[in-house]
C-alpha cells in the first residue's frame, strides 16, 4: 500500500485543522466588537462594577486557603483517575490476567482510600467551620 | 481527474496523501461547527421559551416566528456594543480569558461521532484516544473562568472565578471516574468504538456476522472501495438495551447518573450555578465583560452544554444509534431500488445524525427542566456533595464493575455467557448490599447517639462542633 505510513499522521490532521479553526474563530470574536462597537470611554464607565458604589481597595486580595486545599486534593485524585484510564481500557482484554489486574487496582485504590479517609477525618471537606 | 476524486472522497484515510486529508477535514469541520456552534442560538431560544412555559410566561415571541430570531438579534446587538476594558485590569489575561473559555469547547467537537463511517463519521474519526482527548481539552475550560475572575480587578469576579474553579475541579473527579467505568465495560478509548461497541484499533475491518462487544452483531459491511463509506449495519434485534447505561445493571446506570450530575455542575448551570449566582455575585467571573467578549462566555456555556450532552450520549446512550436496531438504517429492501451510495448517504448523514440530535435535545431539555425545578445549592453543600457523595460512590461503582467483569471472566468457561453474567453480577450485588448495609447501620448508630446527646445536653447548651483542622488545647472536642 503506497500511503500506509500516512495512517497515524492522517488521523491527527483533523485535530490540527480544528485547532487552527478554533483559534481563528476565537481571535475573530475577540476582535469583532473592538472593530464594530463604538469607543467612548469615560472614567465612570471604566470603573470596576460594584453596584454603583465607588470601589474601595483592590480586588486582588487574599482568599481562603480552602480553595488552595481543594486544588491540591484535586491533583491527587485526578492523577489517580489518569492512572486508571489505561488500566480500564485494557482490563477487558487482559484475559487470564484479569483477577491479577483487579487485585493490583484494588491495592492502588486501597492506598488512596486510606488517604481519602485521612483527609475526610481531618476535616478538609468541611466548608462550614 | 477520477484519481483526484478517488483521493478526495472515496479512498480510506490511510491511503490518501496528507492534503486530501486536510480537504476532508475541512468539510467535516464545517459540518461539526454547523452542528455545534449553529445549535447555540437554538439552545438559547429553546431555553428561554421553555423557561417561560415552565413559569407561566410567554418568553421571547416578537423577533421572527415564535421569537426564533431573538438570539440572532441579541448576538447582533452584542456585536455592536462598546467593548469596555475597565481600569486596572490585567489587560492581556483579560482579553485572553474569553478566548480560553471558548477555544476548548470548539476543539471538543473534534472527536464526537455523528455516524459510523471511518472516513466521514466525525471531524477526527480515526483517533483511538478520543475520550482522553475530550478530558484533556475539557480540563482547559476552567482556566477561562479563573483567569477572567482574577484579571477583572473586581471582587465579584474574583469570588466567581474561585467558586467556578473549585466547583469544576471537584466535580471533574466524579465525572472522570464515571467515564472510567464505561471504559471498563467497553474496553476502548475511542469515541467511535464506544458507540459501535467494539475496538476499532484492535479488530480493523470486521466481517459480517461478528458479534460486537455490546451484544450487537454486524449484518453487512458495505465495501470501502466502491461507496466511500465503511458502513456497519447493526443487527435489527439490538437496541437501547445494549447501550452502556443498561450494562451490568445497575452499575452502568449509577455511572450514568454520576456523569449527568457532574455535567450539570461542570457547565455551571442551576442548581450548581454558584459561580454566577446573580443574587450574590452580580454575574460572577464575567461581571466586567461586555460586548462580544461577554457573548463568548455565553456562547461557551451553551456550546459546552451541548458538548457535555454529546459526550453523555456517546458514552452512555449509544451515540448515533437508534433506540431500536431496525430504525438505525433504511430497510435493506431500499437497496433494490436506489443506488447503494444513496442508501449509505441517507443512513450516515440523515438517519444517524437525526438520532444523535434527538438524544441531545432530550438531554438539553433535561438541563432546562432541572434549572426550572431546583433551587441553587449552598456552597458548602455543593462541595460536600462533590467530595463526600459523588467521589466515593463513583469509586465504589468502578471497583464493583471491575469485580463483576473479573468474576464473569473467571466463571465464563464453566457457566457460559448468561451464567457468568449472573455470577459476576451476583457477587457485585452482594458486595453492594453488604457495604450499603454497614453504612446504614453506622448512620443509624450515629443517629441514635446524637438523639441521646440532644435529649440530655442540647437543651442546656448547644453542642460545640469539634474544630478538626486546628485543634485548640483550651477547648477539647466533646465526644458526640
Q: Residue B215 has what pLDDT?
A: 45
Distance, CA of B25 to CA of B32 (rounded, Å)? 10
Q: How many CB pairs under 8 A join A and B?
A: 261
Q: Residue B260 has what pLDDT?
A: 93
CA B372 to each of CA B54, B204, B365: distance values in angstroms, whole numbers, following the listed order? 7, 46, 11
**Of B393, B391, B366, B395, nearest in space to B260 by CA:** B366
pLDDT per residue over B122-172, tens digit each?
A: 888 778 788 888 888 888 888 888 888 888 888 888 888 888 888 888 888
pLDDT per residue over B277-288, tens digit each?
A: 777 777 778 888
Among A11, A36, A101, select the one facing B13 at the smallest CB separation. Answer: A11
Residues of B in contact with A126 (CB under 8 A): 380, 384, 468-469
Are the beta carbons of B21 and A2 separated by less than 8 Å? no
- Which neighbouring-strand residues pair with B277? none
pLDDT at B450 over 90: no
Fold classification of A2-121 (topology level): Methane Monooxygenase Hydroxylase; Chain G, domain 1 (1.20.58)
Rg (CA), chain B: 26
pLDDT per residue over A31-76, tens digit each?
A: 887 788 788 888 877 877 777 777 777 777 787 888 888 888 888 8
Distance, CA of B338 to CA of B358 (rounded, Å)? 26
Residue of A nearest to B383 (CA): A125
The alpha-carbon gap from A72 to the nearest alpha carbon of chain B, in Å, equals: 10
Torsion of CA B30, B33, B38, B43, to 10 degrees: 160
Are the beta carbons of A60 and B153 separated by less than 8 Å? yes
Mean pLDDT, to the nearest integer, of B365-392? 88
The alpha-carbon gap from B158 to the nearest alpha carbon of chain A, in Å, equals: 7
Mean pLDDT, to the nearest integer, of B189-212? 60
Secondary structure class of B218 (helix, strand, coil):
strand
Are the beta carbons of B184 and A40 separated by less than 8 Å? no
**Of B279, B273, B278, B281, nearest in space to B156 by CA:** B281
Are the beta carbons of B107 and A14 separated by less than 8 Å? no
The alpha-carbon gap from A113 to the nearest alpha carbon of chain B, in Å, equals: 9
Q: Are B149 and B285 in contact (CB under 8 A)?
A: yes
Distance, CA of B271 to CA of B415 (rounded, Å)? 47
pLDDT at B258 over 90: yes
Q: Is the dihedral of CA B324, B327, B328, B333 positive or negative?
A: positive
Distance, CA of B253 to CA of B246 (rounded, Å)? 6
pLDDT per residue over B369-378, tens digit each?
A: 998 898 888 8
Distance, CA of A91 to CA of A106 (rounded, Å)? 13
Structural domain boundaries in chain B: 31-377
Amino acid at each position: 500500500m503506497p500511503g500506509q505510513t500516512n495512517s497515524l499522521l492522517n488521523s491527527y490532521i483533523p485535530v490540527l485543522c480544528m485547532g487552527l479553526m478554533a483559534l481563528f474563530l476565537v481571535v475573530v470574536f475577540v476582535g469583532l466588537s473592538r472593530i464594530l462597537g463604538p469607543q467612548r470611554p469615560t472614567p465612570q464607565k471604566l470603573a470596576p462594577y460594584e453596584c454603583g458604589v465607588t470601589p474601595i481597595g483592590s480586588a486582588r486580595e487574599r482568599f481562603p486557603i480552602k480553595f488552595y486545599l481543594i486544588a491540591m486534593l484535586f491533583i491527587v485524585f485526578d492523577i489517580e483517575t489518569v492512572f486508571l484510564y489505561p488500566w480500564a481500557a485494557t482490563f477487558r482484554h487482559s484475559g487470564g490476567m484479569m483477577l491479577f489486574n483487579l487485585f493490583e487496582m484494588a491495592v492502588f485504590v486501597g492506598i488512596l482510600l486510606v488517604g481519602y479517609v485521612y483527609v475526610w477525618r481531618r476535616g478538609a471537606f468541611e466548608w462550614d467551620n | 481527474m477520477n484519481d483526484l476524486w478517488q483521493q478526495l472522497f472515496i479512498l480510506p484515510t490511510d491511503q490518501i496523501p496528507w492534503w486530501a486529508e486536510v480537504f476532508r477535514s475541512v468539510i467535516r469541520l464545517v459540518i461539526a461547527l454547523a452542528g455545534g456552534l449553529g445549535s447555540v442560538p437554538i439552545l438559547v431560544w429553546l431555553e428561554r421559551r421553555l423557561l417561560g412555559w415552565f413559569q407561566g410566561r410567554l418568553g421571547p415571541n416578537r423577533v421572527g416566528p415564535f421569537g426564533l430570531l431573538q438570539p440572532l438579534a441579541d448576538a447582533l446587538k452584542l456585536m455592536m456594543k462598546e467593548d469596555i476594558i475597565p481600569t486596572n485590569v490585567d489587560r492581556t489575561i483579560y482579553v485572553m480569558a474569553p478566548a480560553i473559555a471558548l477555544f476548548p469547547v470548539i476543539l471538543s467537537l473534534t472527536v464526537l461521532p455523528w455516524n459510523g463511517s471511518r472516513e466521514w463519521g466525525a471531524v477526527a474519526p480515526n483517533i483511538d484516544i478520543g475520550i482522553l482527548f475530550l478530558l484533556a481539552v475539557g480540563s482547559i475550560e476552567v482556566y477561562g473562568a479563573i483567569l477572567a475572575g482574577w484579571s477583572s480587578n473586581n471582587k465579584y469576579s474574583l469570588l466567581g472565578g474561585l467558586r467556578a474553579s473549585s466547583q469544576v475541579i471537584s466535580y471533574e473527579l466524579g465525572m472522570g471516574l464515571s467515564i472510567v467505568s464505561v471504559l471498563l465495560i467497553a474496553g476502548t478509548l475511542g469515541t467511535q468504538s464506544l458507540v459501535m461497541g467494539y475496538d476499532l484499533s484492535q479488530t480493523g475491518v470486521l466481517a459480517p456476522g461478528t458479534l460486537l462487544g455490546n451484544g450487537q452483531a454486524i449484518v453487512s459491511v458495505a465495501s470501502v472501495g466502491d461507496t466511500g463509506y465503511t458502513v456497519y449495519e447493526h443487527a435489527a434485534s439490538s437496541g437501547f438495551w445494549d447501550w452502556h447505561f443498561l450494562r451490568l445493571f445497575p452499575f452502568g446506570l449509577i455511572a450514568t447518573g454520576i456523569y449527568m450530575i457532574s455535567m450539570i455542575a461542570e457547565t455551571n448551570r442551576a442548581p450548581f450555578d454558584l459561580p454566577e449566582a446573580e443574587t450574590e455575585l452580580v454575574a460572577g467571573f464575567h461581571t466586567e465583560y461586555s460586548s462580544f467578549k461577554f457573548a463568548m462566555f455565553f456562547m461557551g456555556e451553551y456550546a459546552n452544554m451541548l458538548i457535555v450532552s454529546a459526550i453523555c450520549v456517546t458514552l452512555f446512550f449509544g451515540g448515533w444509534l437508534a433506540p431500536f436496531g431496525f430504525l438505525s438504517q433504511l430497510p435493506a429492501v431500499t437497496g433494490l431500488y436506489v443506488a447503494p451510495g444513496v442508501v449509505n448517504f441517507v443512513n450516515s448523514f440523515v438517519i444517524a445524525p437525526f438520532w444523535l440530535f434527538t438524544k441531545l435535545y432530550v438531554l438539553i431539555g433535561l438541563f432546562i427542566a432541572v434549572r426550572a425545578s431546583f433551587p441553587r445549592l449552598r456552597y458548602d453543600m455543593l462541595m460536600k456533595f462533590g467530595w463526600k457523595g459523588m467521589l466515593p460512590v463513583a469509586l465504589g461503582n468502578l471497583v464493583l464493575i471491575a469485580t463483576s467483569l473479573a468474576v464473569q471472566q473467571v466463571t465464563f468457561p464453566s457457566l457460559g455467557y448468561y451464567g457468568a453474567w449472573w455470577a459476576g453480577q451476583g457477587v457485585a450485588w452482594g458486595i453492594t448490599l453488604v457495604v450499603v448495609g454497614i453504612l446504614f447501620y453506622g448512620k443509624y448508630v450515629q443517629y441514635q447517639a446524637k438523639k441521646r446527646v440532644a435529649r440530655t445536653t442540647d437543651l442546656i447548651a448547644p453542642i460545640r462542633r469539634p474544630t478538626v483542622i486546628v485543634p485548640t488545647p483550651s477547648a477539647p472536642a466533646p465526644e458526640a
